[in-house]
């Protein structure tokens, strides 16, 4: 129905936090991976015992229990570091993987060594290390796994390749080789692991790349805003002289035509507009880099909006502004942000340009959220405007539009995690909606 501009979230802090939590996430996945391995080994051991295959149950059970103990330690560390707001280090993850290699080596030593069909499980800690740890740690895990595999070729407790006899319903007995059966089970388990866990790790890598792209885009956006700020300051400096000349001429004309009330009224309006322009240019140079007023107590939200609306009325007296704001609702105190005031004025100006006769302004708020709605009675948004609105230097106005009002408003709201959206109103015109969380604006009374 309408074009929506969501907030440009502050990518840097979010991305930095995700980088710090990467090892934590990999630790969680390692716990789940161990769970699958422990379940598969336990089921195989139980099945072989039921089939009267001689197995050293005690050492094998201890090895599987060791994997469970490692998971409990990892789970405790995850819970503890979350409560204390600490991060999981790569060294902790490395120690966990070393524990996995040790437990697997014990298990394979007592169950056939290198001939064990589950010997491929050495690849699991190698895969996790290659994805989650720095290169030197990954090579350490790979080297130890290769060394353990090699030693198991010479030192292990052998198991004879016994055969299982399975009686199928209505058929003759089928002879199954334990080693081949184990290879089949290993393939099934490895397929599940690859499909679930490796796919998730791959998704994490794609999310990482997307976060990097977002940071890069945010950096480009900051450079663009810096360039606009530099141009605005230069323009303020250059426009000072012609505005001063116009002010002098307007004053002289007011004195020359003091006996013509209609012309004098227009000249007075011109003087006010020139004074307003000079005030805006002065504020650009005076408040460069400063967005909030130095009023620590802030201002009631109702008063903040009222001042912004009155300021706009002074510059657009010909346009009727119909205001709807709650008077009985308690107003939270907010910081006097000049850029936020200008963002509201930009939306009002755009609405008045489309509907010079009248526009409406409605405000609602709670203790956490401010909602603004500005409606004009113009022709509405075209399909092209819906797609491009908010793009720098795009304007739907025929001649005098610079195409920066919505873009600057969008950028200002993004600093406070706000959202700006435009919709064609059912009764005609455009409805501009602002949703602004007050968490970053509120000040203590």
- DSSP letter for each residue of 218-251: HHHHHHHHHHHHHHHHHHHHHHHHHHHHHHHHHH
pLDDT at 57: 87
List Cβ<8 Å contacts ≥24 apart for 97-102.
97/30, 97/125, 97/128, 97/129, 97/133, 97/141, 98/141, 98/144, 99/66, 99/70, 100/34, 100/67, 100/70, 100/124, 100/125, 101/125, 101/141, 101/144, 101/145, 101/148, 102/66
Q: Are 387 and 430 in contact (CB under 8 A)?
A: no
Q: 16-30 pLDDT, tens per residue?
A: 444 456 778 888 888
pLDDT over 90, % of the chain: 20
pLDDT at 188: 78
pTM of the prediction? 0.50
pLDDT (mean) for 158-169: 53
7-16, 329-338, 362-371: least confidently modelled range: 7-16
CA 289 to chain centre: 26
pLDDT at 16: 44
Does residue 320 surpass a pLDDT of 50?
yes
Collapsing DSSP to helix, strand or coil, 423 comes out as strand
pLDDT (mean) for 407-431: 86
Does residue 189 surpass a pLDDT of 50?
yes
Query: How far apart are alpha carbons 205 and 420 in whole angstroms?
Result: 31
pLDDT (mean) for 247-269: 83
Residue 340 is inside which H or E element, if any? helix 338-354
Under the banding of pLDDT at 50, 70 and 90, the label for residue 401 is low
Q: Are 336 and 292 in contact (CB under 8 A)?
A: yes
Q: Are 213 and 72 in contact (CB under 8 A)?
A: no
Q: Which of 182-191, 204-213, 337-346 has the highest mean pLDDT?
A: 337-346
Under the banding of pLDDT at 50, 70 and 90, the label for residue 6 is very low
Q: 228-244 pLDDT, tens per residue?
A: 666 666 666 667 778 77
pLDDT at 235: 67
Beta strands in 241-347 (DSSP E): 299-300, 320-324, 333-334
Residue 361 is inside which H or E element, if any? strand 358-365
Q: Are 224 and 18 in contact (CB under 8 A)?
A: no
Under the banding of pLDDT at 50, 70 and 90, the label for residue 225 is low
pLDDT (mean) for 291-299: 55
pLDDT at 145: 93
């Amino acid at each position: 129905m309408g074009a929506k501009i969501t907030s440009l979230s502050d990518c840097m802090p979010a991305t930095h936090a995700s980088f710090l939590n990467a090892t934590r996430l990999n630790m969680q996945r390692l716990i789940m991976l161990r769970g699958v391995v422990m379940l598969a080994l336990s089921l195989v051991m139980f099945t072989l015992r039921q089939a009267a295959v001689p197995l050293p149950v005690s050492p094998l059970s201890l090895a599987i229990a060791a994997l469970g103990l490692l998971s409990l330690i990892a789970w405790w560390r995850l819970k503890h570091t979350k409560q204390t707001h600490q991060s999981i280090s790569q060294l902790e993850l490395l120690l966990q993987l070393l524990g996995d290699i040790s437990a697997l080596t014990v298990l394979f030593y007592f169950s056939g060594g290198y001939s064990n069909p589950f010997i491929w499980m050495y690849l699991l800690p190698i895969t996790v290390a290659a994805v989650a740890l720095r290169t030197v740690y990954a090579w350490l895990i790979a080297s130890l796994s290769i060394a353990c595999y090699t030693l198991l070729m010479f030192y292990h407790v052998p198991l004879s390749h016994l055969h299982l006899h399975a009686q199928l319903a209505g058929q003759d007995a089928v002879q199954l080789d334990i080693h081949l059966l184990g290879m089949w089970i290993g393939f099934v388990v490895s397929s599940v692991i690859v499909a679930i866990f490796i796919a998730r790790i791959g998704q994490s890598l794609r999310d990482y790349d997307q976060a990097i792209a977002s940071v890069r885009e945010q950096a480009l956006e900051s450079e663009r805003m810096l360039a606009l700020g530099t141009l605005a300051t230069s323009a303020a400096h250059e426009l000072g002289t012609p505005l001063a000349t116009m002010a002098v001429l307007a004053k002289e004309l007011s004195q020359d035509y003091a006996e013509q009330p209609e012309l004098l009224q227009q000249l007075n309006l011109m003087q006010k507009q020139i004074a307003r322009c000079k005030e805006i240019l002065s504020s650009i140079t005076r408040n460069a880099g400063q967005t909030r007023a130095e009023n620590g107590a802030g201002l009631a939200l109702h008063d903040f909006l009222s001042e912004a609306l009155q300021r706009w009325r002074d510059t657009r007296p010909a346009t009727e502004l119909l205001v709807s704001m709650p008077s009985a609702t308690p107003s939270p105190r907010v910081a006097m942000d000049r850029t936020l005031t200008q963002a509201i004025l930009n939306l009002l100006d755009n609405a008045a340009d489309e509907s010079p006769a009248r526009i409406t302004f409605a405000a609602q708020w709670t203790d956490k959220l401010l909602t603004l709605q500005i409606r004009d009675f113009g022709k509405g948004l075209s399909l092209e405007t819906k797609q491009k609105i908010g793009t720098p230097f795009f304007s739907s106005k025929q001649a005098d539009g610079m195409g920066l009002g919505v873009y600057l408003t969008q950028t200002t709201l993004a600093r406070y995690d706000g959202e700006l959206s435009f919709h064609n109103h059912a009764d005609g015109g455009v409805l501009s909606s602002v949703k602004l969380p007050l968490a970053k604006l509120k000040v203590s009374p």
